[in-house]
Amino acid sequence: MDLATLLGMIGASGVIIGAIALGGDVMLFINVPSLLIVIGGTAFAVMFRATMGQFIGSFKVAMGAFFSKNVAPQTLIEEAVELANVARKEGILALEGREISHPFLETGISMCIDGHPPEVVQKVLSKDINLTIQRQEAGYSVFKATGDVAPAMGMIGTLIGLVQMLANMDDPKAIGPAMAVALLTTLYGAVIANAFAIPIAEKLKLRSIEEKLNKSLILESISGIQEGVNPRVLEQMLMTYLPESQRQSGDKDG
């Protein structure tokens, strides 16, 4: 569970709900026509932009914002150097049956053990990275689109409410409900976009960047292991994937 995502969402929701509760009756901020315009309109407009598979799959992808499976690059470097040491001393076949933590690293090592040439291993794994990134982009683009559409739907609802209000100026009882639609649709659109959709899209994008970094690190690790690069040299090469502060820490530890 990603604590920052959970706390951020709960905190943003709590501040908004708390402000509403402190200001008076919470039920004043619940309006069914406004909800239909913003939630229904946003859902269908986003569905129009994407395929049905991408739209439905985006809810599963959203779980990636809360549950991070990415391994720390430092951990991958340590494991890669250990594998490189074994392969250099005992040969690449000595890695067969060895427990490997990351599935992508395990796939690459298995291909090396099976005797595939370096260019084939690089081609297959590079394609895997590119396709993974494409799938992730399709997932978080749905939430980005939601962040774009929800405020627009809120504005459409506002215009609908204003038209209804102006058309019934002679009936004081109709002005209140029409004004509620006009104001609440804007509120709903802004909350959906800025408290939920855009933060989730940005967090999923960050997860994608982290995964691409890890897989690129693994790709270079496998290339070094297969080519018989000195483990110490390989470690120095892989340290470039770390921030400068962690890189210096890793050098000192070494």
- Gap between the terminal Cα atoms of the chain: 31
Say what angle helices 231-238 and 198-227 make with each other, to 10 degrees: 160
Q: What average pLDDT score do residues 92-102 get?
A: 90
* pLDDT value at residue 59: 84
In this prediction, residues 9-23 reach a mean pLDDT of 91
Residue 159: alpha-carbon gap to chain centroid: 34
Contacts of 111 (CB under 8 A, 6+ apart): 120, 121, 124, 125
| Token digits of residue 213 | 């970094």
Q: What are the pLDDT digits (tens) for 191-230?
A: 999 999 999 999 999 989 999 999 999 999 999 999 999 9
Residues with Cβ within 8 Å of 202's Cβ and at least 6 positions away in sequence, in order, are none
Determine the 3-state secondary structure of 50 from DSSP: coil
Residues 100-149 have pLDDT tens digits of 989 999 999 999 999 999 999 999 999 999 998 988 888 889 999 999 99
**Domain spans of the chain?**
1-30, 31-243
Q: pLDDT value at position 23?
A: 81
The pTM assigned to this predicted structure is 0.82
Least confident window among 36-40, 82-86, 166-170: 166-170
**Cβ distance 116 to 92 under 8 Å?**
no
Q: pLDDT at position 254, please?
A: 46
Worst-scoring range by mean pLDDT, 1-5, 86-90, 94-98, 249-253?
A: 249-253
Structure tokens at 134: 């494409």
The pLDDT assigned to 248 comes to 61
Write out the DSSP string of 67-103: S--PPPHHHHHHHHHHHHHHHHHH-GGGGTT---S-H
